[in-house]
Copies of this chain bind each other. A is one copy, B any other.
Amino acid sequence: MLKKERQELIIHEVNLHNKVLVADLSTKISVSEDTVRRDLIELSDEGRLVKVHGGAISNSFRNSYKHTDIYSLDQKKVIAQKAVSIIEDGMLVFTTGGTTLLEMLRILPQSLRATFVTVSVPGAFELLQHPHVEVIIIGGKLSRNAQIVVGGEAIHRIRKFNADLAFLGVNAIDTQRGITDNDYEVTLVKQAIIESSSHVAALTISEKLNTVQKIQVCPPGGYHSLVTELPPDHALLHPYQQSSTTIL
């Protein structure tokens, strides 16, 4: 087999699988590992792939994830748009923390007149930028990780409210386990918010669909709306379709 031919095969393989192992290529093309290694070095010098210890990865590999990172902001904006559409003037609205939630709070229309109750410090900060919303923060001990208020006192306060709507930032969601999180204190707060709200909207980017964390926040169907950046009839969302749930 020609050297050139072999290298093209390697490129093809890399583009196909995003990564290759020296050992695999060696057996696959029946040449020594050293030869493969030398090919990878050449291809790497030509900038056609990125050599790493043990093999090589495609140029776009880092992009394949980074892609989602860059655009996750846009995704969150789409989610935020949808979420905003279900807020009505005069409502009492609960919000939790989380970057998706923050993004939503940021794009609230300036004209909106509503009362927001939040457990999130950065969330409160964001809400203060809006001239016509009244902001109430729940008091209590702050969780450094989540940057939200937690603890018995906070939960007690939350239960005093009877909100029309709750926006729940979601860490992981699954058709079997429902919404899950990895911080016990946070799950307690979210549960209290769910129980104190007439309508619960779960906000998440689609990547978190079908992922599971340690502790359950609420069972499948424990929320009334599911908001993602995908169109409501997207295949990924079909399993989440229930009579009690609206998919936005």
5 A-B contacts (beta carbon < 8 Å): A4-B52, A8-B62, A15-B69, A137-B149, A139-B140
Q: Write the A118-134 contact mask toward B (1 if CB under 8 angstroms, else 0).
A: 00011011011001001
CB-based contact B18/A65 at 8 Å = no
| A242 in the interface (beta carbon within 8 A) | no
A147 to chain B, nearest CB (A): 6
Q: How large is the interface on A (under 10, 10 to 19, 20 to 34, 35 or more residues)?
A: 35 or more
Starting from the known contacts A17-B171, A121-B125, A135-B144, 6 additional A-B residue pairs (CB-CB under 8 Å) come to A8-B62, A12-B69, A17-B208, A127-B142, A135-B141, A137-B140
Chain copies in complex: 2
Q: CB < 8 Å: which of B19, B21, B128 contacts A121? A: B128
Q: Which residue of B lies closest to A62 (CB)?
A: B8
> In this complex, what residue of B is CB-closest to A129?
B144
- Assess the B140–A136 pair: CB atoms within 8 A: yes
> Which of B12, B24, B122, B145 contacts A57, CB < 8 Å?
B145
In the assembly, what is the distance between CA of A65 and CA of B121, in Å?
A: 11
Q: Is A213 an interface residue (CB 8 A)?
A: yes
Q: Which residues of B contact A61 (CB under 8 A)?
A: 5, 8, 99
Query: B17, B142, B144, B149: which contacts A182 (Cβ < 8 A)?
Result: B17
A interface, CB within 8 angstroms of B: 2-5, 8, 11-12, 15-19, 21, 24, 52-55, 57, 60-62, 64-65, 68-69, 72, 98-99, 102, 121-122, 124-125, 127-128, 131, 134-142, 144-145, 147, 149, 154, 157, 171-172, 182, 207-208, 211, 213
- List of B residues within 8 angstroms of A55 by Cβ: 2
Measured in the bound complex, the distance between the Cα atoms of B135 and A149 in whole Å is 9
- The answer for the CA separation of A208 and B17 in the assembled complex, in Å, is 8
Min CB–CB distance A87 → chain B (angstroms): 18
